[in-house]
Amino acid sequence: MLFERKKRRITRLLLVEDEPLVAFDAEHLLIAEHYQVVATVDRVARAVSIIADGQAIDLVLVDVELADGSGVDVARAAAGRGIPVLFVTANCPSEASALAVGCLVKPFAQRDLLAAIRAIEATLEGAAPRRLPSGFRLFARAGLSEPDAA
């Protein structure tokens, strides 16, 4: 096909957010943009369980301050399986660059969330992102190591 879309590398997302409105808006935006949301969860334990179950996940979007703990623990679990992480938070943790591929500051515009995902995808493919959205920091291939041997 002449105008066929390029196949995405990132299609399956795990959304970890305990603010219901933010989670709802993000999930609906991502689905409308043809991403598959594997799950939307609001607890660290549930997110870690989904990651440990071995489901196919291309990117974890996680808030840092969750009701039952820290999204940093979710990022560690994802990094242990070689799954890239995008922190979506008002306060990017100091260890973010060691655990994640980027950090998007809340509140964010929907277009900035999509642009952040595209920037991460470009980085995973070894290309330079076309543009970085407002409030987004991209970490140089951090968190993209091979999964731990289990």
Judge contact between 84 and 101, C-beta under 8 A: yes
Whether the Cβ atoms of residue 133 and residue 104 lie closer than 8 Å to each other? yes
**In contact, 73 and 44? CB cutoff 8 Å:** yes
pTM: 0.88
Model confidence pLDDT, tens digit, residues 100-142: 999 999 999 999 999 999 999 999 888 888 889 999 999 865 4
In one-letter notation, the amino acid at residue 63 is D
The mean pLDDT of the chain is: 89
Prior bond to 129 cis, omega within 30? Answer: no
Q: In the CATH scheme, what architecture does the domain 12-138 have? A: 3-Layer(aba) Sandwich (3.40)
Per-residue pLDDT at 145: 46
